[in-house]
Amino acid sequence: MKSVNYNNEIVYPSKIVCIGKNYVEHIEELNDVAAEQPIIFIKPNSAISDELLFNQQDSVDYEAEICFIVRNGQYVGVGFGLDLTKRQVQRELKSAGLPWERAKAFDNSAVFSQFVPFDCTVSNLRLELWINDRLKQHANYDLMLTKPLAIRNEIQSFMSLEDNDVVMT
């Protein structure tokens, strides 16, 4: 079972719950439209990694994410994550009306930083992804279509969040 580091403790998430089309800029980048309700999908524990590991022949896109560790149904830790996607595979599956786990839930498709205790106001959170001294992505609370507490409530309306599960916003 794969692990993440939360407050210098090794923890084992049972799953990663992801929210699709939640950042305004990403929707615009994909030339897409916002969904009427949160798009929720799961990545398995085998998707967890702390480094980029994938077949270099695959065309893989990345999305920077604000991520949370859950305990007792509450967010207790925050970290940075990369949600990796085999975009061409996803397009083919979606156009055929098929599920897209092959494009989103492959091994090592969720890359995480260490998580730190979450003890600030959620509206103060923001992220920046820099590659080779160039700002590639930035996001903050205001750019999220569904805010973190609403995400948690929506997930818990139909699925249990186990201790140490990760939510990717």
pLDDT tens, residue by residue, 103-117: 999 999 999 999 999
* Matching residue, tokens 């992801």: 18
- Tell me the C-alpha distance between 55 and 103, whole Å: 13
What value does the mean pLDDT of the chain take?
A: 90
pLDDT band with cut points at 50, 70 and 90 for residue 27: low
Residue 62: both structure tokens together: 């990345």
DSSP designation for 90: H
Task: Tell me the whole-structure pTM to 2 decimals.
Answer: 0.90
The pLDDT-based confidence of 21 (bands split at 50, 70, 90) is confident
Query: What pLDDT, on a 0 to 100 scale, did the predictor assign at position 29?
Result: 60
Residue 38 in 3-state DSSP? coil
The confidence score (pLDDT) of residue 118 equals 87
Length of the chain: 169
Whole-number Å distance between alpha carbons of 89 and 102:
7
What number of other Cβ atoms are within 10 A of residue 31's Cβ?
6
